[in-house]
Amino acid sequence: MVTALDINTSRERARAWAAASVVPDPEVPCVNVEELGILRSVDVVDGVAIAKVTPTYSGCPAVLAIELAIEAALLDAGFEARIERVFSPAWTTDWITPRGREKLKAYGIAPPVDGTSSRMELFGETRVSCPRCDSQQTEKLSEFGSTACKAQFRCLDCGEPFDYFKCL
């Protein structure tokens, strides 16, 4: 049976989610925390919004900034806020939403290639498309890029160097 209280709670939860989910990633501001898949859930218990956030990498220096931004967004929406950092299950690039992938590509960052997370073994190769011209003729410049979550590639057709959002 659905009670009035349940409806009220789910409405509040939706409102809290709407407020928290639009917080942009500070290092890749074209995507927000929902699209990146790092905002895992938002619950409202006794008027307190509890947001669960998971880091992309253990040492991601943006984690605290992201948590504070989500807290501020929830406070702005009139909630008391609590942020919980969760590690399990571990974040995977599979959680980046289709919309998030489109935005990354439009921003010039090649989104993670589906199903490549299993190819992290030694000497594994990943075929990455150029976010500018869609060419498959690309080469890896460096396993590590401007942030922990990215690698550097170069397009052999249009010559553009670009970031690739690594599969994890």
Partner 1 sequence: MASNSELIDVLVTLGDDHLILGHRLSQWCGHAPMLEEDLSMPNMALDLIGQARNLYSYAADLEGRGRTEDDFAYLRSDREYRNCLMVERPNGDFAHTMLRQLYFAAFMKPFWERVAAGSDDRLASYAAKAVKEVSYHVRHAGEWVVRLGDGTEHSAARMREAVDALHPYTDELFTVTQPMRKAIEKGIIPDPKDIKDDWMVTINLVFNQAFLAVPEVAFPQQGGREGLHTESLGHLLSELQYMQRAYPGLSW
Q: Which residues bind partner 1 (CB under 8 A)?
A: 55, 57-61, 86-91, 117, 120-124, 141-146, 148, 152, 166, 168
DSSP codes of every residue in 35-78 = HHT-EEEEEEETTEEEEEE--SSTT-TTHHHHHHHHHHHHHHTT
- Nearer to partner 1 among residue 64 and residue 133 (C-beta): 64
- 3-state SS, residue 118: helix
Residue 123 Cβ, how far from partner 1 at the closest point, in Å?
7
Q: With respect to partner 1, which residue has the nearer C-beta, 26 or 78?
A: 26
The least distance separating partner 1 from the CB of residue 120, rounded to whole angstroms, comes to: 4
Nearer to partner 1 by Cβ, of 3 and 88: the residue is 88
Q: How far apart are the first and last CA of the chain?
A: 41
Nearest to partner 1 of 13, 82 (CB atom): 82
Q: Rounded to 5 degrees, what are φ and ψ at 163?
A: -85, 145
Amino acid at position 75, single letter: L
Minimum distance of partner 1 from residue 1's CB (angstroms): 35
Spatial CA neighbour of 42 closest among 34, 56, 89: 34
| Peptide bond just before 89 cis, omega within 30 deg | yes
Which residue lies nearer to partner 1 by CB, 48 or 120? 120
Please state the closest distance from residue 52 (CB atom) to partner 1, in A.
13
**Distance of closest approach, residue 117 Cβ to partner 1, in angstroms:** 8
